[in-house]
Amino acid sequence: MSSVAENSRLLENFLKQALPSNVRILVNGANGWLGKNISESLWNMFGGEFSSQVLLTGSKNGILQLQNGSELEINRWTEELIEEFKPTHVIQLAFKTRDHVGEISNDEYVSLNEEIINRALWTISLPSTQGFLHTSSGAALGETAFDKHIDPYGYLKKFEESSYSSACKDNGKRYLGLRVWSTTGRYIKSGGLFAIESLISQAMSSENLSINSQGEVWRSYADANEILLAGLIALFTGETGLYNSGGTDTEIGELADLVSSLTPSRTPAINRIKDSAATASIYTSIEPSIEQVLALHDLRYSDLRAQVINTMQYLTWLHSQSNPQD
């Protein structure tokens, strides 16, 4: 079994060979979880040429701290900056995510994201732009995604998909949408927002793992960085359209078992009261999957065991940075 790091290098090496010599990639939303991952991969690929071929933007100026110790500059998004850079390809990751719902009013949440979407549409219209990749979500398929008041996140993700696809078609640009389902990997947000992070954090700090859901919970897991690398490979090998992230379909109990078995020095017990009558939560990727594009080039995702180890190593490192005395 290869590690996620080893498999990512294979994907990076393939992608580097597929890139045209004059490529200039704009990563908008570089300071988020997905942005940090793909920015680090691009740094690995371009090395000393990174600053001339990649532009990282966000809502404000800042420094992106990578786990390997490198520091990358993030620039505040402005039209002047983008026009001067003349991107050939855009990776659109900027978005006020679901965890911000409730912090502000629904109208303000929708308005802020619509502004981000309009900026992305503007980049599609630039003469220099040839291809556009963005991340959507399985939430775009939700039963309430038609209503921005009931489900503003799902509504906006659905709106993104149709807006970007139409704009690329109208402007003659190559479009690649990635509908991300459930993810693992480095730079994952801590604090219990994601089941895999919660399970690993519990395993690191206690003798027990608690699963609150009484019914089955199914998710499709893939490494966040590998999903984006797969999307870029698709974009630069001539693919177009909307793809789902794919991954390994796993029930939360199976994931907890795996986390428990991989916890160093002990095997935490799993606490869960199951109810056979409880409604199952099924949020699994559908077809077409970006994995199908990888298979065309004899490439693949890392398996779930490697993904859990990779996520666990990152969270252990993150804990050591916050608690150097431990």
Which candidate, 185, 187, 213, places its Cα nearest to that of 276? 213
How many CB atoms are located within 10 Å of the residue 114 CB?
A: 15
Q: pTM to 2 decimals?
A: 0.95
Which candidate, 326, 186, 194, 209, places its Cα nearest to that of 266? 209
Q: Domain map of the chain by residue range?
A: 4-183+221-248+285-303
C-beta separation of 133 from 92 below 8 A: yes
Q: Residue 66 is which amino acid?
A: L
* pLDDT tens figures, 178-237: 999 999 999 998 887 899 999 999 999 989 899 999 999 999 999 999 999 999 999 999
* pLDDT tens figures, 65-122: 999 889 999 999 999 999 999 999 999 999 987 666 667 888 899 999 999 999 999 9
* Residue 184 backbone phi and psi in degrees, to 5: -125, 175
Q: Which CATH superfamily is domain 4-183+221-248+285-303 in?
A: NAD(P)-binding Rossmann-like Domain (3.40.50.720)
Task: Output b/e per residue, 121-156; b: 16+ Cβ within 10 A.
Answer: bebbebeebbbbbbbbbbbbbbeebeebeebbbbbb
